[in-house]
Amino acid sequence: MKLLRYGAAGAERPGLLDDDGHIRDLSDHISDVNGAALARDKLAELAALDPATLPLISGNPRLGPCVGNIGKMPCIGLNYSDHAAETGAEIPKHPILFHKATSAISGPNDDVSMPRGSTHTDWEVELGVVIGTAAKYVSTEEALDYVAGYCVINDVSERHFQTQLTGQWTKGKSCDTFAPTGPWMVTADEIDDVQNLSMHLDINGTRRQTGNTSTMIFSVAEIIAHLSQLMTLHPGDVISTGTPPGVGMGMTPPQYLAVGDEMSLSIQGLGTQTQRVTMDT
């Protein structure tokens, strides 16, 4: 099942994508695709619906972030062995954690707006993990039982802010529009092996990133288990799990985004995002 949110920013409605690629409205069944709707029993109710009986949405409406009212977005840095190699970083002994501000979350095809004067804004295709059941002190073996589904995230990053403005990575990760999320959340039952998903990102039609979740240093289950020892993961929280090689910072010489660039990114089975780059005025 592919759950999504459509409509104007701040006024999105819940929906699902049917087998023909059409949006069906879920407003009669849930108020939003949020933590309350991601409980195991509620997802089972939604899965039992016949999409043909749901209102068909015509046209091509804007897609919002596929999860509403996200409580927190913990992110894992340097989590692909080949990406760590391209940056010259040592393999971390524990997951590197930072957070994106929820104000950075945007729709999958909304414009990405660079901060004023930015010259070091970068791209990162990442697997998003949507929590469906509160997780605290869970083991690696049981960790995936707490997952409602998966989605695509672009972990847009301003590298000067991230590395040169003294402090945590969050400074370069939390600018407005720096977390396009979606186009939809694919429920966990549709993903046979989350550690074998291909992924890629193009800039202006040129392939920049190519990877597979099989090269993660810490698996999705290990990430959930680790984070749950530090904080409770609540339904509707979304974890961004790291990026494969091919980021602008790792190129020789480094290459960053410019106004007018177009990013297109995809993960196997999870859909595609496309964003145009603008600049804050």
Residue 199, SS3 per DSSP: strand
Question: Which residues neighbour 236 within 8 Å (Cβ) at sequence distance 6 or greater?
Answer: 34, 35, 36, 38, 67, 68, 69, 70, 71, 130, 131
Enclosing H/E stretch for 49: none
Q: Pick from 121, 92, 90, 86: which is nearest to 245 by CA?
A: 86
Q: According to DSSP H, which parts of 30-88 are helical?
A: 40-47, 81-87
One-letter amino acid at 184 equals W
Q: Helix (H) and strand (E) counts for the chain?
A: 5, 19
**Residue 232: count of CB within 10 angstroms of its CB:** 13
CA dist., res. 113 & res. 111, Å (int): 6
The pTM of this model reads 0.96
**Predicted local distance difference test score (pLDDT) of residue 117:** 86
Q: According to DSSP H, which parts of the chain are helical?
A: 40-47, 81-87, 159-164, 170-173, 220-230
CA dist., res. 227 & res. 246, Å (int): 27
The residues pairing with 267 across neighbouring beta strands, listed in sequence order, are 199, 271
**Predicted local distance difference test score (pLDDT) of residue 120:** 97
**Predicted local distance difference test score (pLDDT) of residue 227:** 98
**Chunked in runs of 10, what are the mean pLDDT values of the chain (281 residues)?**
98 98 98 97 98 97 98 95 77 94 98 95 98 98 98 96 82 95 98 98 98 97 98 98 95 96 98 98 85
**Predicted local distance difference test score (pLDDT) of residue 114:** 97
**Predicted local distance difference test score (pLDDT) of residue 203:** 98
**Predicted local distance difference test score (pLDDT) of residue 22:** 98
C-alpha gyration radius of the chain: 18
The structural domains of the chain, ordered by start, are 2-57 (no CATH), 73-279 (3.90.850.10)
Q: Pick from 112, 108, 127: which is nearest to 17 by CA?
A: 108
Q: Pick from 130, 127, 161, 165: which is nearest to 144 by CA?
A: 130
